[in-house]
Amino acid sequence: MKNIETALVHGGRAGTRTYGYVNPKLVRGSTVLYPSMEAKHEVARHGLEQVDIYGLYGTETHFALERVVAEIEGGTNCQVVGSGLAALTVPLLSYLRAGDHLLVPDSVYGPTRTFCDGILRRYGVATDYYDPMITEPAIRAMLRPNTRVLFTESPGSHTFEVQDIPMLARVGHAAGVKIFMDNTWGILNFQPFKHGVDVSIQALTKYVGGHSDIILGAVTVNTAEDWAWLRNGAKELGAYASPDDCWLALRGARTLHVRLQAQAQAGLRVAQWFKAQPEVARVLHPALPGCPGHEFYLRDFTGACGLFGIVFQPEFSAHSVVTMIDALKLFGIGASWGGYESLVLPTTGTIRRSAGTGVYEGEMARFHIGLENTDDLIADLQQGLATLRAN
């Protein structure tokens, strides 16, 4: 593979020595026309791989983005779909069947849990939730003869536990179980297939889009066998992504590396600043000691992003935290992350419902650090903490 910065700049393009515009075309379309029936049969003989057959199965805009994502994730093939959530549900629905058992970390992104407890349960798939910091003997003990997928998300949504993915993959593979991973936080900094993952999921809505203006997801695999069931499943389900959003994601990908690095650096600085504040009991940032699984971050990741959590001292109420959040001027109150702007959300009780209820004593908040000046952000947080103390 090329170095990641080069892959981001050159990926999905026709090449630097061809006549034409720098960027791949934005192709919108449903119907593809053929000059003759023989030409149509000839195209059909190629299968569905990077060929214009029908808009639902991808245009050159989709294929260009899929090549870039496959390359940065280190896999062979990628399927883009209409949202990060669809990138989670499409492979689960495509791979699992009635009677199967699924293992999911208790720190999983909320809508993934809702899907497992809703549609998957109704279709006869049973889910058990495990502690994201589970030991090797304990996860082995949770496997059943019908376990088909061991799902992972590292770090976990809101509680930021970094999982021991190579250990989970070893245990899962020994039992013939596929390892799925939501790798959105680890974009560019965690190479899923090198660590034993079979199916890697990205919400491109976040850093790849990077400008809070698209909703998009991607599923990447690394074998022909995994590509066959994924591609067929996506086709059967009618999974689709807007070419306009794919084009914007490609545009975002060109600057992903520098944005991510700058936001990771600023995020770490703000997280370290929080660590020194008496109002804060704990900072949940994978790159800092004290975050569960920090040792796995040091071993397996090459960097961070700008998303982390904090736990307030138990003396501060949910009301005080809300008044602090309301007092912030530079932090938007909103879901999602990975855009150029800073965000904050209270996160107490939004996750960790089974295996780890009550993991932290104090109120929690999640911060996303954007591309603003970091001193300005810290000054804003300083006055926010003064409001917290006063309430």
Ligand X SMILES: Cc1ncc(COP(=O)(O)O)c(C=O)c1O
Q: Which stretch binds ligand X (CB under 6 A): 79-87, 125-133, 173-181, 371-379?
A: 79-87
> Does 84 engage in binding with ligand X (CB under 6 A)?
yes
- Looking up tokens 């680890």, which residue turns up? 186
Site string for ligand X, 171-190 (x = CB under 6 A): -----------x-x------
Helix (H, G, I), strand (E, B) or coil at 45: helix
Pick from 89, 200, 205, 320 the residue near ligand X by CB under 6 A. 205
Residue 220 structure tokens: 């990447």
> Does 66 engage in binding with ligand X (CB under 6 A)?
no
> Does 157 engage in binding with ligand X (CB under 6 A)?
yes
> Does 65 engage in binding with ligand X (CB under 6 A)?
no
DSSP 276-337: T-TTEEEEE-TTSTTSTTHHHHHHH-S---SEEEEEE-TTS-HHHHHHHHHH-SSSEE-S--
User: Cβ closer to ligand X: 126 or 215?
Assistant: 215
* Shortest distance in whole angstroms from residue 234 CB to ligand X: 16
Residue 322 Rama label (left phi>0; alpha psi -120 to 50; beta)? alpha
Other CB atoms within 10 A of residue 225 CB: 10
> Does 109 engage in binding with ligand X (CB under 6 A)?
yes
Q: Which stretch binds ligand X (CB under 6 A): 20-28, 83-91, 144-152, 320-328?
A: 83-91
The CB-side HSE value for 36 (13 A sphere, CA atoms) comes to 3
* Shortest distance in whole angstroms from residue 338 CB to ligand X: 8
Q: State how far the alpha carbon of 343 is from the alpha carbons of 36, 138, 215, 329, in Å.
A: 54, 37, 17, 10
Pick from 186, 217, 306, 339 the residue near ligand X by CB under 6 A. 217
Q: Which stretch binds ligand X (CB under 6 A): 81-89, 172-180, 312-320, 348-356?
A: 81-89
Pick from 14, 215, 237, 262 the residue near ligand X by CB under 6 A. 215
Residue 182 Rama label (left phi>0; alpha psi -120 to 50; beta)? beta
The residue ranges that bind ligand X (CB under 6 A) are 83-85, 109, 157, 182, 184, 203, 205, 215, 217, 336
